[in-house]
Amino acid sequence: MSPVLLSSSTSLVESVRGVLGLVRCAATLGQLACGDEPVVLVDLSLRPGEGAELVREVRRARPGASLVALLGEASNSTPAALREAGADRVLGLPLHPALLEDTVTEALERQPFDGDPRILRDLAGVAERGELRLHYQPRVEAETGAVRGFEALMRWEHPELGLVHPGLFIPLAEATGEVVAMGAWALREACRQARAWDALGLPSVHVAVNLSPLQFRGEGPVPAVEAALAESGLPADRLELEFTESLMAHDTTEVIAHLQSLKRLGTRLSIDDFGTGYSSLSYLRHFPVDALKIDKAFVDDLTRDTHASAIVTAIVVLGQSLGLGVVAEGVETERQAAFLRVLGVDEIQGYLYSRPLPADEAAAFLAAAGVSAPAS
């Protein structure tokens, strides 16, 4: 199934069709017959009342379709009017065409609704409904194998679909903005869990939480991080925050200010999927980061591709000369681990040691691993 994008304006439909080449059908109000469900309504520049009218038209023509209204900055329709008119979900993203391309295209491409439409339908309020879980994947010291920490990875326990993996819902949550509330929940839960392990007398480890670029908009991530630390009592230096280079595609000055505030709180910061995104290294000088995480793609090819090993070597040297820790992820074989150890990688994460585990199994893993090196 591909999404249907609708607008009252033919020129807008044409531009959306141009931007989102993957969309099979973009329709104006007059052509509602086209396309499959679900329907995504694009409302970038509607005049007052037009958005609600569009929603009512869609509802009449396609009563069973799930209908998502994407509200643009230029829109004069209000979310309340669209909701009253019957939209299942109104997304208040500041959508201008460039951002539309960034967020919606990517989301639809990765999860073009041929997954289960219930994922998009039920995403709103998922954190408040208590359906999110965190699984924890150990990060071990390369030299000794001691557990240094865990990366918290989100899962959604959907009441009908069972455990849904983040590859299916995070891109959609980013397109809808829901990821901000979900991310705040993950911060609270990961910090709470780390303290619960402390209370069991387990070695104190650090816990890493992923931050979406969307969490850096508006007030930024600091209030959510502060709340999570205050509620749990977790020392800030045991919380690591992972963000990707794509953050740099947005307003750098503001992002750097947020990162500096996080640093002042005392949290550790690491760049996830390093080497796959933004190609300029100059931003590293302005970033108060502690560690680089080498993307799995390079680790995969490490032992069979000289280019991959050259890139990994370069990242390790870069990290070391900047005084940063280097973590390799997606490590599946002992050969890869041995290679990474020789290259001087500090920490290793991957199926070789463990898959991401539910909290109780992660605790057992930590207990069985014995005394770990102190968290840094």
**Residue matched to tokens 């999860």:** 111
**Residues numbered 240-269 forming contacts with Ca ion, rule: CB under 5 A:** 242
Residue 273 binds to Ca ion (criterion: CB under 5 A): yes
Among the residue ranges 107-115, 262-270, 312-320, 346-354, the one whose residues contact ligand C2E (CB under 6 A): 346-354
Is residue 270 a contact point for ligand C2E (CB under 6 A)? no
Closer to ligand C2E at the Cβ: 43 or 151? 151
Q: Does 356 bind ligand C2E (CB under 6 A)?
A: yes
**CB of 210 closer than 8 Å to CB of 248:** no
Residues counted in the chain: 376
Interaction of residue 166 with ligand C2E, rule CB under 6 A? yes
Q: Tell whether residue 328 is a contact of ligand C2E (CB under 6 A).
A: no
Positions in 199-218 near ligand C2E (CB under 6 A) = 210, 212
3-state helix/strand/coil string of the chain: CCCEEEECCHHHHHHHHHHCCCCCEEEEHHHCCCCCCCEEEEECCCCCCHHHHHHHHHHHHCCCCCEEEEEECCCCCCHHHHHHCCCCEEEEEEECHHHHHHHHHHHHHHCCCCCCHHHHHCCCCCCCCCCEEEEEEEEEECCCCCEEEEEEEEEEEECCCEEECHHHHHHHHHHHCCHHHHHHHHHHHHHHHHHHHHHCCCCCCEEEEECCHHHHCCCCCHHHHHHHHHHHCCCHHHEEEEEEHHHHHCCHHHHHHHHHHHHHHCCEEEEEEECCCCCCCHHHHHCCCCEEEECHHHHHHCCCCHHHHHHHHHHHHHHHHCCCEEEEECCCCHHHHHHHHHHCCCEEECCCCCCCECHHHHHHHHHHHCCCCCCC
Cβ proximity to Ca ion, 43 vs 242, nearer residue = 242
Q: Which residue has the tokens 């439909």?
A: 13
What are the distances in angstroms from CA 57 to CA 28, 30, 80, 170, 249? 11, 9, 17, 30, 37
301 vs 332, which CB is nearer to ligand C2E? 332
Point out which span in 5-13, 85-93, 159-167, 367-375 binds ligand C2E (CB under 6 A): 159-167
Among 12, 126, 175, 186, binds ligand C2E (CB under 6 A): 186
Taking contact as CB under 6 A, which single stretch among the options 7-15, 22-30, 347-355, 361-369 is the one that binds ligand C2E?
347-355
Residue 152 sits at the vertex; the CA angle it makes with 343 and 119, to the nearest 5 degrees, is 125
Out of 170, 222, 269, 340, name the contact with ligand C2E by CB under 6 A.
170
| Site membership for Ca ion, residue 210 (CB under 5 A) | yes
Asked if 167 touches ligand C2E (CB under 6 A), the answer is yes
Binds 112: which of ligand C2E, Ca ion, none (CB < 5-8 Å by kind): none
Site size toward ligand C2E (CB under 6 A) is 22
Is the omega angle on the peptide bond into residue 97 within 30 degrees of 0, that is, cis? no
In whole angstroms, the minimum distance from the beta carbon of 376 to ligand C2E comes to: 20
Nearer to ligand C2E, 29 or 352 (CB): 352
Rule CB under 6 A: choose which of 332, 344, 373, 376 binds ligand C2E.
332
Of 13-21, 53-61, 111-119, 326-334, the segment contacting ligand C2E by CB under 6 A is: 326-334
Minimum gap (Å) between residue 177 Cβ and ligand C2E: 12
Question: Closest CB to ligand C2E among 62 and 238?
Answer: 238
**Interface map 8-47 toward ligand C2E (x if CB under 6 A):** ----------------------------------------
Site for Ca ion, rule CB under 5 A: 210, 242, 272-273
Site for ligand C2E, rule CB under 6 A: 137, 153-154, 165-167, 170, 179, 183, 186, 210, 212, 272-273, 329-332, 349-351, 356
